[in-house]
Amino acid sequence: MNLLELMPELALYGFVAIVAGVVLVIVWLVWGSYLSVPAPGQIIGYFMVFGRYGKVHREIEGRLVDASHLFLGPVVASRFKTFVLKEIEQLLQSRSLGVDREKLEETKEELENCTASQLSSVCRVIVAREKRTKHAFIQVGNLKPIGEYVSTSEKHRFSFGLGPESEGVLIGDMFTLSRKVRAPFGSCQTHIFMPQEPSASSERGLDKYEVLANVLKIPFIIESQERVESLENELAQEARARMDLAKDLDASKANNFVLERMVRNRGVDLDTLIPKQLDVVDFLFLALPTVLGNHLAGYVNVEPYIGLFTGLAAGFFLVYRRMKR
């Protein structure tokens, strides 16, 4: 089989391979960034974490996983305990401390007195992924399961990887380390995090938060009104542009009609001015010599492609002569 005959199949296989590779890369990126869990452990849900640094806060949105079991091994737990103690000491020396100092000092004492096997009673590790960045929250101070501190939404979030899952908000005091840490589940941004317990609901409190929510909606309402006005102006400009285009088309039609009358008055046939288009007869004049040349090549002991190109050249000549008439 000649290489020329294989070229279309090779090109098709190459195109399919490239498309399949692009699709696999896209699926891998989507799975790694949005669908897969950030670390092995107990999945808590998809939450927005509000970490407060004193009077400012940071928002981290992602799926939370309790990965404390990854740090309970004898060797890992000992190194993890040393690491947490070092970071808490550095945090206590910081002047701009937004975390409860008393609870932090209690946590430090408990860490110093506990063994590696008792580490889970002093701190926990919660892992989240925000797009392609992993975050590890070292939970200290308030040590109930992290699900006790979250405020869940009435609606559930659907994920193609995990199905329906809880969605809500987690609020707490936070201190972020200046560098990323290499953990068993990969490189991550690490935070000392002290969660805040949700306040008891009351009618007065609900009214206060409803008023606050309505106040916060005011900038969005103003922005929406400005956006509506901007869209109305754009629609008006498009309508004027369409009217101008219709006027130009009418003028062009009038000019074409005048030119056509002038040409016909001079006795010129307009059909002769339009280039001749290819039709079925031209196709037959082109195809028949090509097929005939390919067929007769075997009888005159030449390669098939020579007869093919010879017949094709003869077909082009016949079409050229016919169009010149």
For every residue of 145-204, DSSP letters joined together read -GGGTEEE-SS-EEETTTEEE-EEEEEEEEEEEEEEEEETTEEEEEEEEEE-PPPPP-HH
Structural element, H or E, at residue 111: helix 101-113
Residue 203: predicted pLDDT? 43
Would you say residue 313 has pLDDT above 80?
A: yes
DSSP SS3 for 214: helix
Higher pLDDT, 289 or 99: 289
Residue 221: predicted pLDDT? 76
Which pLDDT band, with edges at 50, 70 and 90, does 205 fall under? very low
Which pLDDT band, with edges at 50, 70 and 90, does 1 fall under? low
What does the alpha-carbon distance between residue 181 and residue 189 come to, in Å, rounded to a whole number? 6
Q: Pull the structure tokens for residue 150.
A: 């979250």
Residue 32: predicted pLDDT? 56
Residue 45: predicted pLDDT? 83
Mean pLDDT of 279-305: 78
Domain definitions of the chain by residue range: 36-199, 209-268, 275-324
Which pLDDT band, with edges at 50, 70 and 90, does 202 fall under? very low
- Among the residue ranges 145-154, 185-194, 235-244, 258-267, the one predicted with the least confidence is 258-267
Q: Are 178 and 103 in contact (CB under 8 A)?
A: no
Q: Pull the structure tokens for residue 232.
A: 């109305």
Residue 100: predicted pLDDT? 65
CB atoms within 10 A of CB 134: 21
Mean pLDDT of 112-125: 77
Which pLDDT band, with edges at 50, 70 and 90, does 310 fall under? confident
Report, in angstroms and rounded to the nearest whole number, the Rg of the chain calculated over CA atoms: 38
Residue 204: predicted pLDDT? 45
Residue 274: predicted pLDDT? 56
Q: Pull the structure tokens for residue 263.
A: 């040409």
Which pLDDT band, with edges at 50, 70 and 90, does 231 fall under? confident
Which pLDDT band, with edges at 50, 70 and 90, does 131 fall under? confident
Which of 253, 203, 254, 51 minimizes the C-alpha distance to 138?
51
Mean pLDDT of 99-121: 75
- The mean pLDDT of the chain is 77
Q: Are 92 and 101 in contact (CB under 8 A)?
A: yes
Mean pLDDT of 58-73: 83
Residue 232: predicted pLDDT? 87
Q: Are 62 and 38 in contact (CB under 8 A)?
A: yes
Mean pLDDT of 168-184: 83
pLDDT digits (tens, 9 = 90+) for 247-283: 888 888 887 777 777 767 766 555 555 556 667 777 7
Mean pLDDT of 303-325: 79
Residue 111: predicted pLDDT? 79
Residue 219: predicted pLDDT? 72
- Among the residue ranges 93-107, 132-146, 165-179, the one predicted with the least confidence is 93-107
Higher pLDDT, 176 or 159: 176
pLDDT digits (tens, 9 = 90+) for 137-165: 888 878 788 888 888 877 777 665 566 77
Residue 291: predicted pLDDT? 82
